Amino acid sequence: MSERVVVLGAGFGGLELCTMLSEALGEEIDVTLIDKNDGFVFGFSKLDVMFGRTAPDAVRMAYSDIAKPGVRVVRETITAIDPEARRVTTDAAVHDADVLVIALGADYDMDATPGLAEGGNEFYSVAGAERLAGIIPTFSQGHAVIGVCGAPFKCPPAPSECALLLHDELTARGVRDACQISFVIPFGTPVPPSPETSAALVKEFAERDITLIAGRRVSALDPGRSVAILDDGAELPFDLFLGVPKHRAPDVVIDSGMTEDGYVPVDFATLQTRFPGVYAVGDVATAGVPKAGVFAEGAARVVAQTLIARLRGGEPPGPHLGRGTCYIEFGRGRVGSVDIDFLSGPTRTGTFNAPSAALVAEKERFGSSRRARWFGS
């Protein structure tokens, strides 16, 4: 009987893992990939959706297009995970696994920030971005606040990108002079592992009259008064609030008893949890790397190589090095990037690459190559 691998979540981590297993082992392995949604959307596409550059349907990749030997994709909602028994219960079935990989990402905890759901908007979900695509064009004067409500959060450069793209949008409509933009972030700098990247972003903010409020997070909104309350008690009146909600592992993962401080602890090198045969990759794990797709993918590769080596009798892979490139929208169609290395050396590093036409093309390839590799389109 072939090894039963059950992969929970078809995001960056789950998709890369299943693709590698299928490429290497084909029908020799029995992989079940479970996701509650009907398709995948890149995180960066949410910015495109919110600023009306594209429609959600154009950026959604349908799971029904996945055709990989050895991999069965099922659309079910996971309701319980038993890591000791490696048993997963969904709204439709029970799945028993020899190897279980948790790749369920991070969810948003709207209730952690009182007033956010009623008085603000979030742009970190497709639904939130879609809603904002209707709201942003109606904002023509007053104070826009981009506010981060807790760390860690996905793709640390994303709220900086949001501020720069909002500036572009308001400028294009000829209303920028009637609007103020403020950006609240809990870190001391926009991209802490890379002082050069942070300095470049801070310069861009200054040139565009975007006020950066660093080292603070938004702890509540008062919708009645349209005021954002920061963690030091300061108040920021707003006419438009664009929020990054506090993140946490999905409830089903927390209820499984696998989490500590909101996420699943793993061995940074191997992505193994404390439960034999159970791995966790991507945003759901505390793995010593930022919460971003490239790192979810890198972690998934290590797990895939481990399983392939075990089944084929080869050498296990080296440790997860926590390396990856994050592309950053600088506005006016420009794209820069930061090469992150969190685990391979004694200190974490982030090397900045200034915006260039080559990076615009590279970001495009980043998306299209994964679309082709995972979805065959």
Q: Which of residues 239-268 bind ligand FAD (CB under 6 A)?
A: 250, 252
Per rule CB under 6 A, is residue 289 in the interface with ligand FAD?
no
Q: What is the DSSP letter of 13?
A: H
The answer to whether the beta carbons of residues 229 and 219 sit under 8 Å apart is yes
Please pick, from the candidates 54, 77, 356, 377, the single residue that binds ligand FAD as defined by CB under 6 A.
77
How far apart CA 9 and CA 218 sit, in angstroms, is 30
Q: Is 345 exposed, middle or buried (0-12, 13-18, 19+ CB in 10 A)?
A: exposed
Total residues contacting ligand FAD (rule CB under 6 A)? 35
**Contact code string over 25-44 relative to ligand FAD, x by CB under 6 A:** ---------xxxx-----xx
Residue for token pair 């002079």: 177
| 11 touches ligand FAD (CB under 6 A) | yes
Pick from 5, 66, 73, 78: which binds ligand FAD (CB under 6 A)? 78
Which distant-in-sequence residues (6+ apart) come within 8 Å of 290 by Cβ?
152, 155, 156, 193, 340, 342
d(CA 307, CA 304): 5
Q: How far is CA 317 from CA 174, 245, 269, 277, 373, in A?
A: 54, 36, 10, 16, 22
Among 166, 296, 303, 338, binds ligand FAD (CB under 6 A): 296
Q: Which of 104, 126, 166, 338 binds ligand FAD (CB under 6 A)?
A: 104
| Interface positions, 126-185, toward ligand FAD (CB under 6 A) | 154-155, 158
State which residue has the least CB distance to ligand FAD: 11
Q: Is 325 helix (H, G, I), strand (E, B) or coil?
A: strand
13 binds ligand FAD (CB under 6 A): yes
Residue 359 touches ligand FAD, criterion: CB under 6 A: no
Is 282 one of the binding residues for ligand FAD (CB under 6 A)? Answer: yes
Q: Which residues contact 211 (CB under 8 A, 6 or more apart)?
A: 180, 181, 182, 183, 205
User: Is residue 103 a contact point for ligand FAD (CB under 6 A)?
Assistant: yes
- Which residues contribute to the site for ligand FAD (CB under 6 A)? 9-14, 34-37, 43-44, 46-47, 77-78, 103-105, 124, 154-155, 158, 250, 252, 282-284, 291-294, 296, 326-327
